[in-house]
Amino acid sequence: MSSDAAPRKILKLPQVLDLNAAGRLHEEVLAHRGADIDIDASEVGRVGAQCVQVLLSAAISWRAENLCFKVEQASDAFTKTLELLGISDEALVPKEMLK
Which residue ranges form the domains of the chain, and what is each CATH number? 9-88 (3.30.750.24)
Which residue would you say has higher pLDDT here, 42 or 85?
A: 42
Assess contact for 91 and 61: CB atoms under 8 A.
Answer: no
- Identify the pLDDT of residue 83: 87
Other beta carbons less than 10 A from residue 33's beta carbon: 12
CA atoms of 92 and 2, how far apart (whole Å): 16
Element (H, E) at 53: helix 49-64
Task: Look at the pTM and tell me if it is higher than 0.85.
Answer: no
Element (H, E) at 73: strand 69-74
Per-residue pLDDT tens digits for 57-80 = 999 899 899 998 888 889 999 989
Give the amino acid at 79.
T
- Identify the pLDDT of residue 3: 47
| Per-residue pLDDT at 93 exceeds 80 | no
Lowest mean pLDDT, pick from 11-15, 22-26, 56-60: 56-60
